Structures are given as C-alpha cells and as structure tokens.
Amino acid sequence: MKTRTFPFEFVTESVEGLCARQSVRSQAIYTTVLLCLAAALLSLPLIKIDISKQSRAIIRANQKNNELAAPVYAQVKASFLREGLQVGQGDTLMILSTAKLDEQLSSLQEQLSLNAAYIRDLRRLSSRDSAGVEGLETSLYYQEYIQFHQKAAEQQLQVDFTRRALQRNKQLFDEGAIARVEYEQAEFDANLAQRVLQSIREQYRRNWQLELERYKKENLELQAKAQKIEKEKMDYYITAPISGAVTQYAGLQGGNFVAPNQPIATISSDDTLIVESYISPADIGLIREGMAVQFQVDAYNYNQWGLASGTVAQVSEDIVQYQEQPVFAVKCSLRESHLRLKNGYRGKLKKGMTLTARFCIARRSLYQLLYDKIDHWLNPKLG
C-alpha cells in the first residue's frame, strides 16, 4: 500500500509547522504577556483611586476684616493707632473730643441739682407740720413762704376780729339787745373768715404739691437725657471690635476733625485661618460638609512642599458673585499652619494666599472609570 504524503508547502503553512518553528522561550514570553494582560483586566475592579474636583480658593480669617469709621462729627483728641499695630478686642484706639456733650451734661447736672433743692423745699412746705422757713434752701420758695405767711397772718387777724364780734353779738342776742339777723350775720362773717384762711393754706399746699410732682417728673426726664448723653459719649471712644492688626490707617492725629462714617482704619482679624473656595453650580451637588479637601498653595511648589489638608466646614445656601461668575462659597478648615521642606524649613500659610482646593468626591475603581469613559464615547449627549 502506498503512503500518502502532503506537499511541502502545506506542511510549512500549517499550525504544526508554525509550532515547530517557534522556540520554547518565545512561547513563554507570549504566554507571560497574555497572563499579564489577563491579570491587568482582572485587577481593574480592584485598583481604586480618589476622584476630586478642583476650584480656586483663598486663605482668610474666619472673621472678615472689620472697617473702623467715625460715628460722629468731632475733633480727634488722641489717637493710638499706627499701621501694623496689634490690638485686642475692646482696646481704645482713638478718643474724640466730647466738649459739646460735656457742656450739655454740665447744664443738665446744674438743673438737676437746682430741681433737687426745689424738691426738698417743697416737701417741707407741703408737709402739714411745717415749722416755718427753717431749712429752706432756695430763695424762690423762701420768698413764696414769706408771701404765704403774710397772707395767712392777715387773714388770721380777720378771723380773730370776726370771732370777737361774734362773741359780743352772741352776748347781746342772749340779752335781747339785738335782732337774730344781726347775730347770724356776725356768725356768718366769722365762719367765712375761717374758711378763707383754710382756703389760703390749702391752696398754697396744693400748689406746692403740684410743683413737687412737676419737678420730680422733670428730674426724671433730665436724668434720662443725662444718661443718653453719657451713652453718646461712649461713641467718642473708638475701640477695637475684634482682635487683629491695624491696616489702611488714615493717619488721623490729635486736632484733626472727622465726619460721620469717615473711614479711619481696617482691622485684619487674628481669628483662625480658613480656606474659602468657590464652586460652580454644576459641581456644588457633590460637595458636602465633612468632606476631605487638599490644598495646593500657589506660593509653594507642591512637589517640594507637599499639600495642606482640611475638611469642608460650611457650604453657602445661595450663590455669590466671584469674578463675575455665579458660584457657591465653601468654607474649609485648615489643619496646618505651615508647610515644610524635607530639610525642615517651614513656609507659613498666611491670609490672602491663593491656592487650588481639591475636593475628594468619590473613590472609584479603574474598571468604573474605563466604563464611564466608554459610555461617554458611545453616548456623548448623555455625558
């Protein structure tokens, strides 16, 4: 029986021929590459990286700078301000002249003292057991008491006269020497004189009581005015509303005049430093309080100095304008007060430094990122 053989061309182009021509080393490399690719594909769901959103930000104090302005028109009496001065909350920074208020207050105090003397005199005079002019302090009521005493004394003479006339007429009437009508007229005159005397006394005491109440009321009003002036004088002592450093001082000195709302200086707060970043409305939904943030400070190369860190402390409820764009202001805490080089040199973080804030919004696997990328290619309008 004849043996069938294949032509040489068929043998060289077959799989068996290809395997025969490849060395064992080449097959090992090929297998290794395939295994590496398979391992890479299998590891895509296992390898995860942080996904962040970036925004521009600035370091500032938790409290904003406070501007000092003159509350009233006045002359500067003394100024303790100078550029860069460190001040504490409540420190007196400038004293304005209170000459006009002092004049008004002095006039009120004099009137209060005079009214107080009037009140003491009127209390003595309106008392029914008043002993006379002893103890009266003011000439006004001394003269008034003398006038009262004279009128009362004159009327007392009239009372005494009519009483004596009544006694005589009663005796004559009892003896039948005069008619009843004459006796009754004498009795009427005596009673009238007594009532007039009583009326004089009551009228003066009533007037004194009314004047006493009037002066009491007037003194309450004067005291209220004096207290108001004392409070107004506090506005003439300009104090530091917050602790910090004085900047933009207007250079006012003693003798200068200031007008209401005239800028005097600005106090840059020494409060805790925070980072204020500005997030676009498209990304604000991803930001939440407590989220971790990293800060790349423009003044320090992050490859050498590294990154600062913090957390989101507050997200604004409404948009603000930043560089003519609507954004949301996000306040972040700042853990570090400085950055450090490998040799130990420190770079201080200061107010006004600009930086880039990186908000860690999610942790995604490479598989998820690849899937999102492919989905974006296939559905560009939904991306």
Is pLDDT larger for residue 364 or for residue 185? Answer: 185
pLDDT single digits (tens) 26-76: 667 777 887 787 777 766 666 666 666 788 889 888 877 888 898 889 989
Of 308, 250, 268, nearest in space to 82 by CA: 250
In the chain, % of residues over pLDDT 70: 82
Mean pLDDT value across residues 317-326: 85
Where are the chain's structural domains? 8-43, 49-62+272-382, 66-95+238-267, 100-234
Chosen CATH of 49-62+272-382 out of 3.30.70.141, 3.40.50.360, 2.60.40.10, 2.40.30.170: 2.40.30.170
Identify the residue with better confidence: 374 or 297.
Answer: 297
Task: Assign 306 to helix, strand or coil.
Answer: coil
Q: How does 61-70 read in b/e, with b if 16+ C-beta sit within 10 Å? A: bebebeebeb
In terms of phi and psi (left: phi > 0; alpha: psi -120 to 50; beta: otherwise), the region of 323 is left
Q: List, edge to edge, every strand of the sheet that includes 86-87.
A: 66-69, 263-269, 244-247, 86-87
Q: What is the CATH number of domain 66-95+238-267?
A: 2.40.50.100
User: Does 189 score more than 80 pLDDT?
Assistant: yes
Among residues 330, 337, 335, the alpha carbon closest in space to that of 353 is found at 337
| Cα distance between residue 93 and residue 81, in whole Å | 6
Residue 12: what pLDDT?
A: 57
**Token pair listed for 350:** 């200061």
Residue whose C-alpha is closest to residue 261's, from 32, 70, 31, 123: 70
pLDDT surpassing 80 at residue 271: no
Contact 189, 166 (CB under 8 A): yes
| Least confident residue range of 15-24, 121-130, 173-182 | 15-24
Q: How confident is the model at residue 175 (pLDDT cuts 50, 70, 90)?
A: confident
Q: pTM for the whole thing?
A: 0.58
* Intra-chain end-to-end CA distance of the chain, in Å: 73
CA atoms within 13 A on the CB side of 333: 9
- What letter represents residue 53's amino acid? K
User: Are 275 and 331 spatial neighbours (Cβ–Cβ below 8 Å)?
Assistant: yes
pLDDT at 218: 94
Q: CA-CA distance, 284 to 304, in Å (whole number)?
A: 31
Beta strands in the chain (DSSP E): 48-61, 66-69, 74-79, 86-87, 92-96, 237-239, 244-247, 257-258, 263-269, 273-279, 292-297, 308-322, 325-333, 338-340, 346-348, 354-365
What was the pLDDT predicted at 374? Answer: 60
The residues, any chain, with a CB within 8 Å of residue 122's CB and separated by 6 or more, are 141, 208, 209, 211, 212, 215
Task: Say yes or no to pLDDT of 383 above 50.
Answer: no
Residue of 331, 330, 303 lying closest to 319 (CA atoms)? 330
- SS3 (DSSP) at 109: helix
Cα dihedral across residues 374, 380, 382, 383: positive or negative: positive
pLDDT in tens, 119-171: 998 888 887 655 566 778 888 888 888 898 899 889 889 989 889 988 888 88
Q: How confident is the model at residue 8 (pLDDT cuts 50, 70, 90)?
A: low
Query: Which residue type sits at 43?
Result: S
